[in-house]
Chains A and B, each alone.
Chain A
Amino acid sequence: MPLLAAFLTPLVGRIGSQARNTFVIVALAIVQILVIIVARDVYANGIHVYTLGAALPSLAIPETHMVPVRIILEVDGLGAFMGLMGATVALAGAIYSISCMKLETGQDRFYTLLLLLAASMVGIQYTGDLFNLFVFLEILSISGAALAGFRTRFVDAVEGGFKYVIVSTVAALLVLISIGMFYGQYNLLNIAALADAMQYTAIDKIALALLVVALLTKSGAVPSHWWVPDTYTPAAGGTSPIIYGASLTCLAALFRVVFSLYGLKLSLSLIGWVVIIAGLLSMFVGVTMALRQTDVKRLMTYHAISQEGYMLLGVGVGLAVLGDPQAVAAYGREAIAGGIFHVINNAFFKGLLLLTGEALFFQLGTRDLNKMGGMGRNMKWTCAFFIIGALAISGVPPFNGFASKLMIYESSFHLNPMLTIIALVVSVMTLASFTKVFQAAFTGPEQPEYAQVQGVPLSMKIGMGILAGATVLFSLFPQFVVDTIVYPAADALLNQAGYVSAVMGGA
Chain B
Amino acid sequence: MTRKVVIGLTMVIVGMMLFAVALMMRPFGEPVSVMDDYIIENTQQVTGANNAVSAVVFDWRGYDTLGEATVLFTAVTAVVMLLRKRKDEAPE
Contacts and interface: CB of A to CB of B under 8 A. Distances in A.
Interface of A: 7, 10, 13-14, 17, 52-53, 62, 64-67, 69-71, 73, 105-106, 109-110, 112-113, 116, 119, 123, 129, 131-132, 135-136, 138-139, 142-143, 145-146, 149-150, 152-153, 161, 181, 184-189, 201-203, 206, 209-210
B81 A187 contact: no
A138 B71 contact: yes
B67 A136 contact: yes
B60 A106 contact: no
Contacts of A136: 67
Given A14-B70, A116-B70, A206 B21 contact: yes
A10 B70 contact: yes
A152 B38 contact: no
B80 interface: yes
A202 B75 contact: no
How would you classify the secondary structure of chain A's contact residues: helix, strand, loop or mixed?
Answer: helix
Contacts of B78: 109, 113, 142-143, 145-146
A150 B17 contact: no
A13 B70 contact: yes
A181 to B, nearest CB: 6
Interface string B59-75: 11111101110110111
Contacts of A209: 17
A203 B25 contact: yes
B81 A69 contact: no
Contacts of B31: 184, 187
A112 B88 CA distance: 24
A142 B60 CA distance: 26
A132 B64 contact: yes
A71 B63 contact: yes
How would you classify the secondary structure of chain B's contact residues: helix, strand, loop or mixed?
Answer: helix
A143 B21 contact: no
A110 B82 CA distance: 10
A71 B84 CA distance: 37
Contact of B71 (A65, A139, A201): A139
Given A152-B86, A153-B88, A202-B24, A113 B81 contact: yes
A184 B25 contact: yes
A7 B69 CA distance: 14
A105 B65 CA distance: 31
Contacts of A13: 70
Contact of B60 (A70, A110, A149, A184): A70
Nearest to B59: A53
Contacts of B17: 206, 209-210
A14 B73 contact: yes
A17 B36 CA distance: 37
Q: Which of B34, B59, B70, B73 has the most CB of A within 10 A?
A: B70
A116 B74 contact: yes
A136 B67 CA distance: 7
Given A65-B34, A69-B60, A105 B74 contact: no
Contacts of B82: 146, 149-150, 152, 161
Contacts of B61: 70-71, 131
A265 B8 CA distance: 33
B38 A71 contact: no
21 contacts: A7-B63, A14-B70, A52-B62, A65-B38, A67-B38, A69-B35, A70-B60, A71-B61, A113-B77, A119-B70, A132-B67, A135-B64, A135-B71, A146-B74, A146-B82, A153-B86, A186-B32, A187-B36, A189-B35, A202-B24, A209-B17
A185 B82 CA distance: 42
Nearest to A73: B63
B36 to A, nearest CB: 7
B26 interface: yes
Nearest to A213: B14
